[in-house]
Structure 1
């Protein structure tokens, strides 16, 4: 059996000699010394244990065994060449897959622009998006089920890096006929007796947490009504007077003519972050996170990775 670690250049030289019918012309075609090319073809013949070429004064011709070998070897060489090219593309992150976890929406905010820019640069990368809670997204990153996640908050998870992308204030969504809708801004104290509708998704749970924390400062128990509906249906219930809700502008994704958005004085800022495993070997992740680091200015936080903010969404 021949050495399977044969230098592919030897095989390429043999193909060129067969194509040009001459060692001299093949050597001239690729700019190498004729003696070098000849020695490598001879080494290939010795390792195979056959004569590839009949040497003649007018040139060379393939032997029957040589013709059969080069015909079969060409197929394998082409497949190997394609595999090497594909591997190079994968290593560069131009192909492959990027699994993205998401707590919010792709309708507004900087995420649509970010992903559109990434896809323009890396058309060969297949993107898969799934919406999940904060805990499910973090678990997906930790277990390798997700490559990167965009979540609410500032996660500090062992083994993960994170970048703060943008912040936005929470707004009260009220029916246009509600007394609160007539104000440019309200205080949390003014909302103590209101019923708040929240959805059962990750955003709704975060909203419920914020409402509870704020109203307990005044010794008031929040009136929260959990609705197992999507955002559009939740806004419809608010329009119909079932209660108020808190909203982030980037989460709305649509215009609701029956609603008025009112600022809350001293309202919490909703922070959105990207999180990924710092041991990820997916080149697509490295390309996307490099894009994130270039796009958002650094603001280091103790005990965490590098955070960046987006002034446009402050």
Structure 2
């Protein structure tokens, strides 16, 4: 029993004739008749009575087609859904982030992709490095943008962009008076970071950078979101470290100052499962690769100009 035989039989009962079925399907009338006859021979019943006046379903034929019609509708729906999933203008891309998307590379990427493919649903969630990696490996998200270049089993990792490091302080802090801040200026400061998202990575980054200038680095982890943490910074409850993209966040009393030194750029990478065949995600990845390539070329040009 073939799918097309069932489809032709259902079309024939809908249109009341093999001719009408053939016209609706865009095929030859003889093909409909032969296929239905083959189906009748296969299942051992007569589906249609034939006469010079046309066809009429038998009682057995009516019962048989009534049972298969719902199943055929589901199969055809599944075929249409699968076809739509293979089009870039349909579907969903699930994205994990560890940093702000208020400005910078990731903001530009999602904005440009959304303008080109407005009907693709973008689902963005934040989490820790560990959480995002687990979600990518289990295919619960399509791609994660993380700090560094993590090597993850079963996944591809590609460096994407870098962000200058900034210190977030309150507008009453003495560091506001400086255009740029040096690491040695931060040795005795009280830092606050989140326990989730990029917080653990920021914590380790601060330890590495400040260990040369202080015997003890004062860092307070908090069970709050990044925006709440930055709100506390604006109140003067401590200072924090962020990437350049976070400088697009505007909160009362919050000021950002860059850290001097090109070596303090924070690298970001994309990771995704090697087995992910989500077409909409693959299109987003292509956008990201093109943008990352342009950014790397622009940085290389700047560095070459500085050397000359």
TM over 0.5: yes
Relative distance call for 1:277 and 1:75 in structure 2 (3 A) is: closer
Alignment partner of 1:109 is 2:107:
no
Q: Deviation at 1:275?
A: 0.8
Q: Aligned residue for 1:302?
A: none
1:46 aligns with 2:46: no
User: Would you tell me which structure has more helix in proportion to its own residues?
Assistant: 2
2:204 is aligned to 209
Q: Is residue 174–residue 239 contact of structure 1 (8 Å, CA) maintained in 2?
A: yes
What does 1:179-190 align with in structure 2 at a 5 Å threshold?
A: 179-190=174-185
CA distance in 1, matches of 2:227, 2:29: 75
- Out of 257, 269, 286, the position equivalent to 1:273 is 269
1:276-307 deviations in Å (ceiling 9; x for gaps): 12133444543432332344327xxxxxxxxx
Superposed displacement of residue 238, structure 1:
3.5
> Is it true that 1:195 corresponds to 2:194 in the alignment?
no
Aligned-pair Cα RMSD in Å: 3.5
Find out whether 1:141 has 2:136 as its counterpart.
yes
Distance in 1, Cα, partners of 2:35 & 2:227: 71
- 1:309–1:28 Cα change, 3 Å: same
Query: Which range is displaced more, 274-283 or 233-242?
Result: 233-242
Aligned equivalents of 2:186, 2:99: Cα separation in 1:
25
The equivalent residue for 1:296 is: 292
CA contact (8 A) 1:211 1:222 kept: no
Q: 1:207 to 1:40 in 2, by over 3 A?
A: closer
TM-score by length of 2: 0.77
> 1:33 offset after TM fit, Å?
4.1
Residue 221 of structure 1: which of 211, 215, 223 is its match? 215
Query: Number of aligned pairs?
Result: 297
